[in-house]
Amino acid sequence: MKQITGRIFIFGYGSFGKHLYKHLYKHNKNITVVIDNTQTQDVQDSQANIVSINIKQNDDVLSLGIDPKEDIIYCAMNKTANNLFLVLTLKTLFKEINIIAISNSYENARKLKYAGASSVIDLYEATARRFVNILTKPAVTRAVDEIIYKENDLKMAEIVLPENSAVDKKLLSQFDFKAHGIILIAIIDKEKGNDLYFVDHRVDHKLDSGDTLVVVAKKNDLERFQKFLGNENG
């Protein structure tokens, strides 16, 4: 596999940062992990190149020697508020910098984009379309897969809607999938053949029996949702 060029800076070494480092290091050894010296973090057993700074001090950030045209920044701190502050700081210091930020909700992802993040990995709302647009390198894809699916006990599944299900003939806007712990990614509409349609909030798709839903959910939520629809056997 081709090496990722340029240096990589990973801000944060919690659960997100450690996974990113683990997978990215296989393809680029020039990685610097940056931690906030105002917060306690367990880095004693790490062999990573770790630098401790005060992320709220511009001089400390500048001391890292970041090249905004060549280097890639991952804002992977566990608290989204810290990632947001960091994105704002980096965009103030480096207008052209490439920042990939991690978020834990749609609302936070929106804020990070407005703050100036080049791309946002939304851990709980990531769809296949976002993966294509955001994750262009296999190493990052594997890291995010592990964070999303392994760390959160999530699985992807295809559900065929039975006759007279609770969502039959309803528009997407009329049903709250999130209330059932379900993230709807795409739909295969039986009336339109076998084409896969990614969920787009601008299109209010009508659900019919025989349609296939591509979803992500925790195992228990998925089982409950299957029963709710009338698909006892999935």
Higher pLDDT, 100 or 185: 100
Superfamily of domain 154-229: Regulator of K+ conductance, C-terminal domain (3.30.70.1450)
Instruction: Please check the confidence at residue 94 and state whether its pLDDT lies above 80.
Output: yes
Q: Enumerate the domain spans of the chain.
A: 8-152, 154-229
Q: What pTM, to 2 d.p., does this model score?
A: 0.55
75: left (phi over 0), alpha (psi -120 to 50) or beta: beta
Instruction: Please check the confidence at residue 234 and state whether its pLDDT lies above 50.
Output: no
Amino acid letter, residue 61: V
pLDDT of residue 19: 82
Q: At what angle do helices 80-93 and 106-115 cross, to 10 degrees?
A: 10
pLDDT digits (tens, 9 = 90+) for 14-29: 878 888 888 888 878 8
pLDDT digits (tens, 9 = 90+) for 151-208: 556 677 788 899 888 898 889 889 888 889 888 877 887 777 666 676 766 678 888 8
The CA distances from residue 139 to 3, 19, 24, 125, 203, in Å, are 10, 11, 6, 20, 33
Any long-range contacts for 173-177 (C-beta under 8 Å, 24+ apart)? 173/204, 175/207, 177/215
pLDDT of residue 202: 65
What is the chain's alpha carbon radius of gyration, rounded to the nearest angstrom?
20
pLDDT of residue 119: 87
Superfamily of domain 8-152: NAD(P)-binding Rossmann-like Domain (3.40.50.720)
Bridge-partner residues for 183, per DSSP? 216
Instruction: Please check the confidence at residue 134 and state whether its pLDDT lies above 60.
Output: no
Domain 8-152 matches domain 154-229 at the CATH topology level: no
Higher pLDDT, 145 or 219: 219
pLDDT of residue 61: 94
